[in-house]
Structure 1
Amino acid sequence: MPSRPLFVTQFYEGFLTDPALLAALAHSCRSLARDDMAGRRWARDNGYSGYTSYASLNDLPARDPAFADLKRRLDGHVRAFAAEAAMELNGRKPRLDSLWVNILKPGGAHSGHIHPHSIISGTVYIEVPPGAGGLKLEDPRLPMLMNAPGRSADAPEALQTFVYATPQPGTIYLWESWLRHEVPASRAKAERISVSFNYS
């Protein structure tokens, strides 16, 4: 009898097809990086190579029409992902809980982490210069594998211990918030701009 997959981890990829929105978001992100002194201070104090509004601003969709437009579009993608993952939400819709800007300098990285207190997390990529790297996703069973042998280099993606997703401008990635992920060090010569978010 053939084997069958169990406990599948869903990973969603969508796309923003509006160049004007991407340009507006890039402008807004750079304006925040210039004006948000609290965010710049937090990034400096916490060793973040660049700028993030993660700990300083929690009202971007109300503050800026570009982020409000982005939120409306993300809502649809998140609902589609929740349906694909067969989430039982008892008639409720996932609700945006937080949304923040990331501007990562060349050489910058973000170590492995999860997003507690939410159900769906994601990132939309605004500017991705060559060599900026993408997203590294970790098999959630890794802490329990103990003596398990490694996977062969040509193993199917679904069987790999780590999966690397390479975005382009406009790419939207979504995953369940418990999935550990990281941003490898950027080898680009320019900044990478993205917007990350959580839904609860």
Structure 2
Amino acid sequence: MALRPLFATPIYEATLSTDRSFENFNAELEQACQMLADEDRAGQAWCKAHAYGGYTSYASLNDLPLRASVFADLKRKLDRHARDFADALAFDLGGGKLKLDSLWVNVLKPGAGHTSHIHPHSVISGTIYVRTPKGASALKIEDPRLPYMMAAPTRRTDAPEEVQPFVYLTPQPGTIYMWESWLRHEVTTNQARSERISVSFNYGWR
């Protein structure tokens, strides 16, 4: 008997924490994120209006690499990882290339989360984690076939990760996760006693 694992859903995982200058880079990145959370009035207003538990620049700022050099440095690092992921996915870009379309900060308060969603109009999406205190939210990934399973039995608790309907990824500072933008995911409740800080992004195809 043979099992052929077809139609895989790859999640790209890497880390910046092994870089020699990571601690200084991450400290500067956290400071820049906190600065935006303190000063971005439009973003604060959007978060209040939409009951976002903390701060995000998603709906207010679309030029972070121009606002602070640390975001420009981050973009260059992410560009390399996005190229590696696209190559692993065997994308035929037809002479085009992936381009960073958006980059935004997330500062998630204790008790807050982000409900299940996808990222329309993008090819690759992802997050890099800046601050992950003990008890910080996991990234919950959903099997994209879930709506079609109908009468299928539930999986055993000891089932391998690749056949579980949900997988919970627990990042550390410097962790990068990337996935294809159609993949449904959510941020579980932040059970830490302090804020969880991350920077999310989307890549389009040009």
TM-score of the two chains, using structure 1 as the length reference? 0.98
Matched residue type, 1:183: V
Residue in structure 2 matched with residue 36 of structure 1 by the alignment:
40
Alignment of 1:131-150 (within 5 A): 131-150=135-154
- What do the CA deviations read for 1:113-168 (whole angstroms, capped 9, x no partner)? 00000000000000000001210000000011111111111111110000000000
Matched residue type, 1:12: Y
Alignment of 1:156-175 (within 5 A): 156-175=160-179
Sequence identity (%): 61
| Residue 21 (structure 1) aligned with residue 25 (structure 2) | yes
Alignment of 1:45-56 (within 5 A): 45-56=49-60
1: distance between equivalents of 2:163 and 2:129?
A: 26
Tell me how far 1:87 sits from its aligned partner: 1.2
How many residues are treated as equivalent by the alignment?
200
2: distance between equivalents of 1:152 and 1:179?
A: 23
| Residue 102 (structure 1) aligned with residue 145 (structure 2) | no
Alignment of 1:69-84 (within 5 A): 69-84=73-88
RMSD: 0.7
1: distance between equivalents of 2:154 and 2:48?
A: 38
TM-score of the two chains, using structure 2 as the length reference? 0.96
- What do the CA deviations read for 1:148-199 (whole angstroms, capped 9, x no partner)? 1111111111100000000000000000000000001011000000000000
8 Å Cα contact 2:113-2:137 kept in structure 1: no
8 Å Cα contact 2:137-2:196 kept in structure 1: no
Tell me how far 1:93 sits from its aligned partner: 2.1
1:65 to 66, 69, 72: 69
1: distance between equivalents of 2:93 and 2:23?
A: 33
Matched residue type, 1:13: E
Tell me how far 1:85 sits from its aligned partner: 1.1
